[in-house]
Amino acid sequence: MTGAGISTESGIPDYRSEKVGLYARTDRRPIQHGDFVRSAPVRQRYWARNFVGWPQFSSHQPNPAHWALSNWERLGKLHWLVTQNVDALHTKAGSQRLTELHGCMHRVLCLDCGEQTPRGVLQERFQVLNPTWSAEAHGLAPDGDVFLTEEEVQSFQVPSCSRCGGPLKPDVVFFGDTVKPDKVDFVHKRVKEADSLLVVGSSLQVYSGYRFILTAREKKLPIVILNIGPTRSDDLASLKLDSRCGELLPLIDPR
């Protein structure tokens, strides 16, 4: 199971790292699901910021930690990979036995009809609707969001679903929303089939990931945690390693 800490070495900031995470550096907090669904101005602000941040966010590439896990899968040593990240870096590294627990920013969903489209296609629609719009980004967030002023946001035009005209949302679980039960059940099954659980780059503060630790403990599976700084499950780990993911994982010989 991987968290934001595996992607920081690819240049994507995280929320919780001591002194350097977004929570430590700013008073900004990620968008709430209820606000996004209920409010057109909230969606306008979100998409304006996301439009500006997308070229940089989508250009990030896997680092040695992502490649190591993909390689383990190729060798038959990784039964399943669950990521809490929405950055598609595991997919870019070639991982296929993969569940994106919180979805992926590279897909867009219509809230009314459920139609899925690639995020790159939406970027082109934004550009057509906003040919002269420009804004200066003030720092990137872990989900590809950037910080803009209210003046910059107000003139931004947001397209609707091309099939039904409904509002569009990235195919990710925002804070305040929940992971679909069938996806949770699927991951619980994969954990129960495994012979150990490795956590990479997650503080396990969010229950959506922490619950799989509880399942592993129930099955008496060895739990290993690789993370800089303390996690919610340090006391349940057979082994805790305080190191950068991209430096340590490639050193492990899975054979």
**C-alpha dihedral over 135, 139, 141, 144, to 10 degrees?**
40
Residues that constitute the known binding site for Zn(2+): 110, 113, 161, 164
Q: Is the pLDDT of residue 140 over 70?
A: no
d(CA 147, CA 177): 22
Q: Which pTM does this prediction carry?
A: 0.89
Catalytic option among 102, 106, 138, 188: 102
Query: Which whole number is the average pLDDT over 57-65?
Result: 96
- Known catalytic residue at 188: no
Q: Mean pLDDT, the chain, as a whole number?
A: 90
Domains and CATH numbers, the chain: 4-251 (3.40.50.1220)
CA angle 173, 175, 177 (to 5 degrees): 55
pLDDT at 20 over 50: no
Rg (CA), the chain: 19
pLDDT per residue as tens digits for the range 143-160: 556 667 787 788 899 999
pLDDT at 138 over 90: no
Percent of the chain with pLDDT over 70: 89
Nearest C-alpha neighbor of 42 from the set 156, 129, 132: 156
When pLDDT is averaged across residues 11-21 and rounded to a whole number, the result is 61
pLDDT tens digits for 90-100? 999 999 999 99
Tokens of 52: 């500006």
Averaged pLDDT for residues 127-156? 74
